[in-house]
């Protein structure tokens, strides 16, 4: 897997970072993990065309994780002249949520009027679903319940990429990270404790129990960025490229 972190910030774009969006390529497929409101700008700032994206995985329904989809869809339609299908995978109700967001942003513009088919696939907790050559497993986490938050495990042959989504501490993170080649873990705060987000001190204390080869911190808020040069764990940044 080839991975580029296009957006690594929180909802407030702390530190001038784009909201969550991660581009992943395998030899025969290209997909995004989350697509926050700033994500189309993040793509274009790196000269990445929307037409290369085969699918998008949405971890939960907060604007900084799926709010950029209307702009992606319209760009693909009017600028990319897209004709091939796009798959969007997300929590139950993903088709209705994205369709409503598109029509709210641009009245009278409907998914079914686009020049390409959008295939929506709902994931269910702890069940595997196919996404192209990938196997996707969604595991519930602790965040705002109405947003239907999930962590994601992505299997490609023998490679596993894990993503926490937005979450406070939950022992389900052990399952999400288990056997992963890379675990992308949210770290909104350095020491502040909130039930809906993680902090660095908690992650560091649990690191030895997280059975993953590599962990990288993501979704960094202002407090975390103030301490980013004095921590022991690896931290993502906009534009970071790595392979697993």
Q: What is the pLDDT of residues 6-45, one digit of tens each?
A: 999 999 999 999 999 999 999 999 999 999 999 999 999 9
Give me the pLDDT at residue 70, please. 98
Q: How far is CA 1 from CA 33, 34, 185, 226, in A?
A: 13, 17, 17, 31
User: In this structure, is residue 239 part of a structural domain?
Assistant: no
Strand, helix or coil for residue 235:
strand
Interior angle at CA 125, CA 175 and CA 161, nearest 5: 45
Q: What is the pLDDT of residue 166?
A: 98
Residue pair 161/24 in contact by the 8 Å Cβ criterion: yes
Taking Cα atoms as reference points, which of 183, 153, 178 lies closest to residue 244? Answer: 183
Q: Is residue 241 part of a domain?
A: no
Can you tell me the distance from the alpha carbon of 37 to that of 79, in angstroms, rounded to the nearest whole number? 18
| Structural domain count, the chain | 1
Average pLDDT over residues 96-122: 96
Q: How far apart, in whole angstroms, are the C-alpha atoms of residue 57 and residue 49?
A: 18
Q: Per the domain annotation, does 205 fall within a domain? A: yes
Average pLDDT over residues 127-138: 96
- pLDDT given at position 80: 92
Q: Judge residue 179's burial from the number of C-beta atoms within 10 Å of its C-beta, 0-12 exposed, 13-18 middle, 19 or more buried.
A: middle
Residue 86 forms part of a structural domain? yes
Which band of pLDDT confidence, cut at 50, 70 and 90, is reported for residue 84?
A: very high
- Give the separation between CA 121 and CA 57, rounded to whole angstroms: 10
Is residue 47 assigned to a domain? yes
> Both tokens of residue 57?
């995985």
Evaluate whether residue 236 is within a structural domain. no
Question: Are the C-beta atoms of residues 13 and 1 closer than 8 Å to each other?
Answer: no
Q: Is residue 243 part of a domain?
A: no
* Domain-located, residue 129: yes
Q: What CATH number corresponds to the domain at position 168?
A: 3.60.15.10
Q: Work out the average pLDDT over 64-76.
A: 98
Domain of residue 214: give its range. 2-230
Q: What is the pTM of this model?
A: 0.97
| Helix-helix angle 69-78:94-105, to 10 degrees | 70
pLDDT of residue 127: 87
Q: Give me the pLDDT at residue 103, please.
A: 96
Sign of the CA dihedral with 104 first, then 108, 112, and 117 last: negative
Say if residues 20 and 43 touch (Cβ distance below 8 Å): no
Whether the per-residue pLDDT at 134 is higher than 90: the answer is: yes
CA 32 to CA 7: how far, in whole Å? 11
């Amino acid at each position: 897997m080839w991975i580029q972190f296009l957006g690594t910030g929180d909802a407030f774009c702390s530190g001038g970072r784009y909201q969550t969006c991660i581009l992943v390529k395998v030899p025969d497929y290209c997909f995004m993990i989350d697509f926050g409101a700033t994500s189309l700008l993040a793509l274009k700032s790196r000269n990445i065309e929307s037409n290369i994206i085969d699918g998008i995985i949405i971890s939960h329904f907060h604007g900084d994780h799926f709010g950029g989809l209307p702009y992606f869809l319209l760009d693909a339609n009017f600028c990319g002249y897209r004709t091939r299908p796009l798959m969007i995978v997300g929590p139950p109700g993903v088709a209705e949520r994205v369709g409503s967001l598109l029509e709210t942003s641009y009245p009278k513009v409907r998914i079914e009027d686009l020049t390409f088919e959008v295939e929506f696939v709902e994931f269910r907790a702890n069940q595997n679903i196919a996404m192209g050559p990938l196997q996707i497993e969604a595991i519930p986490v602790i965040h705002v319940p109405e947003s239907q938050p999930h962590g994601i495990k992505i299997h490609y042959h023998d490679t596993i990429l894990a993503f926490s989504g937005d979450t406070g501490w939950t022992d389900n993170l052990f399952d999400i990270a288990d056997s992963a080649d890379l675990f992308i873990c949210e770290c909104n705060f350095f020491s502040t404790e909130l039930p809906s987000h993680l902090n660095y001190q908690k992650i560091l204390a649990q690191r030895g129990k997280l059975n993953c080869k590599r962990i990288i911190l993501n979704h960094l808020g202002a407090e975390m960025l103030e301490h980013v040069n004095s921590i022991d764990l690896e931290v993502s940044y906009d534009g970071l490229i790595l392979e697993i």
